[in-house]
Chain A
Amino acid sequence: MTTKKMAIIATKGTLDMAYPPFILASTAAALGYDVQIFFTFYGLQLLRKDLSNVMISPLANPAMPMPIPMPVMVQMLPGMESMATMMMKQKLKKHGVASLTELRDLCLEADVKFVACQMTVDLFEFDKSEFIPDVEYAGAAAFFGFAGETDICLFV
């Protein structure tokens, strides 16, 4: 049996959108897939050593279940983002969902390869020393070298 492969492009840096790439990558790796995640644009935030600043906003997010209906005028008040993030993290913990850091560590342990888009690293002037050391830096062509041979390729 040849090894199956999966590639994921992670483009979002919010708490809700940070989960799918790491959940899918860790699971695929557990199933024996060879997995690579290409982090670009805001997805690069998920490579920071410290993920505590990955947040979720109730603003422009009408699908987010809230304990009480909250008008947009209230959602935009200072501190609402931190509050929503705190509530979401409590909910995740209560339901036994792993933290982002834990899931990311599980990915690394299972040899999921992390590739950061060099162009967007430069564009946003990210300091590579703020990223975890397990990252390779490359461009779109390098991504296709792997993605072209995958069984599953997802854009998140």
Chain B
Amino acid sequence: MNFNKEFDASGMSCPLPIVKTKKALVDMESGQVLKVIATDCGAVKDMQAFADQTGNTLLSNTEEGGKYVFFMQKK
């Protein structure tokens, strides 16, 4: 999937993947896509909850070799 920016949250625990995803989105433009990589399994539910509550769109959510990869489209 195409993306405009990548944020690697590997090794980070709650709430850092969410808080820093939010920070990464700040300077992006509406419609742009942020790729987030995380190793915290709690991030799977949290990233969806973040999208639901902020209006950003979680385009996809996959697991690759023990890492979780998310594509978040900015509102």
Q: Which residues of A contact B (CB under 8 A)?
A: 23, 26-27, 29-32, 95-98, 103, 106, 109-110
Q: How far is the CA of A106 from the CA of B22 in the complex (A)?
A: 11
Interface size class of B (residues with CB under 8 A): 10 to 19
18 A-B residue pairs with CB within 8 Å: A26-B19, A27-B15, A27-B18, A27-B19, A30-B18, A30-B19, A30-B23, A30-B50, A96-B11, A96-B12, A96-B16, A97-B13, A97-B14, A97-B16, A98-B16, A109-B23, A110-B19, A110-B22
Q: How far is the CA of A27 from the CA of B22 in the complex (A)?
A: 9
Closest chain A residue to B10, Cβ basis: A96
Q: Which residues of B contact A (CB under 8 A)?
A: 11-16, 18-19, 21-23, 39-40, 50, 53-54
A31 touches B16 (CB 8 A): no
Q: How far is the CA of A26 from the CA of B53 in the complex (A)?
A: 15
Q: How many A-B residue pairs have CB under 8 A?
A: 42
B53 touches A23 (CB 8 A): no
A31 touches B50 (CB 8 A): yes
A95 touches B13 (CB 8 A): yes
Contacts of A95 in B (CB 8 A): 13
16 further A-B pairs in the complex, CB-CB below 8 A; given A31-B50, A96-B13, A98-B13: A27-B14, A27-B15, A27-B19, A29-B22, A30-B15, A30-B19, A30-B21, A31-B53, A32-B53, A32-B54, A96-B11, A96-B40, A97-B14, A103-B15, A110-B19, A110-B22
